[in-house]
């Protein structure tokens, strides 16, 4: 297949709504596959990028097309492709390339490659422009960055696994969450609800922290063993010094110290949300307890495949609200109010209907 123009949905300026536009996709190279996109999840990063809110770190190039939670079917494979055949159900997450030679790439930790190519907003080595994400009819990706999606899962619910899923799966695995471990999940949004599902599936005792008492029933349904309303100091104090691990999925400013005090000796709190401003951390509770605070971004390709396979075996998908692409702007507004259970997924066939 030669390079061609395809329909996409994107923004032409930071203050402009997303709308239909045409973008160019490269031809299928020997090691590439072409994917017809069925579903694309909406990640909070999409909104930040579309509105140029990460200007200092990664200025948005317009027109921009977000989307890094892609599920689709292979329509074409390059002559040297070995992993896939036409018709396969596949996924693409936050990365579409890396240098493949650095120690991190060699270790399958492409998320730490200093030269990775993001699915959207990175310089595109092939076209010379910028990469365009999954709010689109189709995409061409090197097979190394394409994941196999279990056929038994609902593809709409699989899409968010490619970012929200691996972002929570990876630190839970890294910190060896499993049977006998007491694990806290802070915040029950797109990330948090996946954290609950995975921690529960790994066999841990799962405690959800939320500021909204109304989320209790839902937290229990998702797999929590207990729910703590974090604004109640007495409820918090009951759990002091008892957690092996806490996954903090809150992006808004909040008090980490309240959670650090809940960790056991050698307990760890890992941040997967990204508050804009620096947080204040009291050091004494870290010293007296040898506790640690860390962060974690997405995951490498091998671990992302492991996560998808795990989801296939355990029937795990994200809880999604499926929308047509024409409702993306409205979905962004609702995302800002956390008005979604728990992730929007765009049915990309709606783009063809335009």
* In the complex, minimum distance from the CB of residue 178 to Zn ion, in angstroms, rounded to a whole number: 26
- Relative to beta strand 89-92, strand 182-186 is unpaired
Alpha helices in the chain (DSSP H): 44-50, 103-106, 155-158, 164-174, 190-201, 216-222, 233-237, 257-260, 284-287, 301-314, 328-336, 349-352
Q: Which is nearer to Zn ion, 99 or 217 (CB)?
A: 99
* In the complex, minimum distance from the CB of residue 167 to Zn ion, in angstroms, rounded to a whole number: 7
Q: Which is nearer to Zn ion, 43 or 159 (CB)?
A: 43
Q: Tell me which residues touch Zn ion (CB under 5 A).
A: 43, 45, 98-99, 102, 105, 113, 163
Q: Which is nearer to Zn ion, 165 or 184 (CB)?
A: 165
* In the complex, minimum distance from the CB of residue 291 to Zn ion, in angstroms, rounded to a whole number: 28
* In the complex, minimum distance from the CB of residue 104 to Zn ion, in angstroms, rounded to a whole number: 5
CB 232 within 8 A of CB 213: no
Show contacts of 320-325: CB within 8 Å, 24+ apart. 320/41, 320/156, 320/157, 320/159, 320/160, 320/344, 320/345, 321/345, 322/39, 322/156, 322/346, 322/347, 323/347, 324/350, 324/353, 325/9, 325/20, 325/135, 325/350, 325/351, 325/354
For residue 47, how many other CB atoms are within 10 A of its CB?
18
Start-to-end Cα distance in the chain: 24
Q: Which is nearer to Zn ion, 34 or 43 (CB)?
A: 43
Q: Which is nearer to Zn ion, 77 or 166 (CB)?
A: 166
* In the complex, minimum distance from the CB of residue 44 to Zn ion, in angstroms, rounded to a whole number: 7
What does the alpha-carbon distance between residue 111 and residue 221 come to, in Å, rounded to a whole number? Answer: 32
Q: 201, 238, 235: which is closest to 216 by C-alpha? A: 235
* In the complex, minimum distance from the CB of residue 336 to Zn ion, in angstroms, rounded to a whole number: 16
Q: Which is nearer to Zn ion, 16 or 102 (CB)?
A: 102
What does the alpha-carbon distance between residue 274 and residue 340 come to, in Å, rounded to a whole number? Answer: 19
* In the complex, minimum distance from the CB of residue 108 to Zn ion, in angstroms, rounded to a whole number: 10
Q: Which is nearer to Zn ion, 113 or 204 (CB)?
A: 113
């Amino acid at each position: 297949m030669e390079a061609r123009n395809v329909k996409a949905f994107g923004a032409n300026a930071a203050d402009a709504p997303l709308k239909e536009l045409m973008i160019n996709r490269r031809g299928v190279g020997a090691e590439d596959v072409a994917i017809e996109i069925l579903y694309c999840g909406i990640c909070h990063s999409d909104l930040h990028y579309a509105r140029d809110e990460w200007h200092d770190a990664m200025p948005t190039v317009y027109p921009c097309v977000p989307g890094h939670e892609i599920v689709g079917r292979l329509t074409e494979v390059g002559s040297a492709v070995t992993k896939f055949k036409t018709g396969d159900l596949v996924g693409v997450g936050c990365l579409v390339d890396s240098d493949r030679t650095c120690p991190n790439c060699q270790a399958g930790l492409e998320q730490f490659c200093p030269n990775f190519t993001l699915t959207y907003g990175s310089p595109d080595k092939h076209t010379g422009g910028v990469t365009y994400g999954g709010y689109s009819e189709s995409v061409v990706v090197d097979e190394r960055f394409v994941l196999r999606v279990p056929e038994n899962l609902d593809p709409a619910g699989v899409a968010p696994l490619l970012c929200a899923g691996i972002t929570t799966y990876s630190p839970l695995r890294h910190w060896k969450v499993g049977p006998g471990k007491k694990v806290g999940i802070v915040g029950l949004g797109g990330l948090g609800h996946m954290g609950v599902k995975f921690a529960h599936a790994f066999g841990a005792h799962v405690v959800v922290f939320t500021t909204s008492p109304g989320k209790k029933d839902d937290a229990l349904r998702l797999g929590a063993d207990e729910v703590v309303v974090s604004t109640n100091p007495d409820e918090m104090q009951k759990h002091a010094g008892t957690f092996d691990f806490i996954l903090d999925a809150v992006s808004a400013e909040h008090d980490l110290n309240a959670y650090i005090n809940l960790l056991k000796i050698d307990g760890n709190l890992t941040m997967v949300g990204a508050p804009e401003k620096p947080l204040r951390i009291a050091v004494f509770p870290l010293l007296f307890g040898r506790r640690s605070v860390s962060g974690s971004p997405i995951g490498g390709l091998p671990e992302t495949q492991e996560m998808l396979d795990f989801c296939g075996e355990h029937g795990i998908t994200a809880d999604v609200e499926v929308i047509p692409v024409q409702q993306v702007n409205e979905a962004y507004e609702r995302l800002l109010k956390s008005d979604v259970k728990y992730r929007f997924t765009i049915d990309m066939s709606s783009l063809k209907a335009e």
